Amino acid sequence: MKIKMLLFLAILTLGMVSCKNQASQEKSEVANEKPDWVIVIHGGAGNITPERIPPEKEAEYKVKLAEALDAGAAILDNGGSSLDAVEVAINIMEDCPLFNAGKGAVFSADGINELDASIMDGRTMNAGAVAGVTTIRHPISAARKVMEESAHVMLVKDGAEQFALGQGIEIVDPSWFYTEKRWQSLQKAKQREAEKKADLTKKSGTVGCVALDKHGNLAAGTSTGGMTNKKYGRIGDSPIIGAGTYANNNSCAVSATGHGEYFIRNVVAYDISARMLYANMTLNEASNEVINHVLKEQNGSGGIIAIDNKGNIAMPFNTAGMFRGYMKPGTEAEVFIFKDK
Q: Which residues are catalytic?
A: 206
Between CA 295 and CA 229 the distance in angstroms is 24
**C-alpha triplet 321, 326, 330: angle, nearest 5°:** 150
Question: Considering only CA atoms, which of 168, 262, 245, 167 is closest in space to residue 206?
Answer: 245
Within 10 Å of residue 312's Cβ, how many Cβ atoms?
A: 17
- Report the distance separating Cα 44 and Cα 39, nearest Å: 16
Task: Report CA dihedral (91, 67, 105, 146) to the nearest 10 degrees.
Answer: -20
Which residues, in sequence order, are CB contacts of 236 under 8 Å at separation 6+? 116, 224, 226, 227, 244, 260, 261, 263, 264
Instruction: Give CA–CA dist 206/55, Å, rounded.
Output: 22
Biggest CA pair distance of the chain: 98
Closest CA to 208 of 86, 296, 303, 311: 86
Alpha carbon distance 263, 194 (integer Å):
28
Integer angstrom CA distances of residue 76 from 80, 217, 313: 5, 11, 16
**Do residues 186 and 111 make contact, with C-beta atoms less than 8 angstroms apart?**
yes
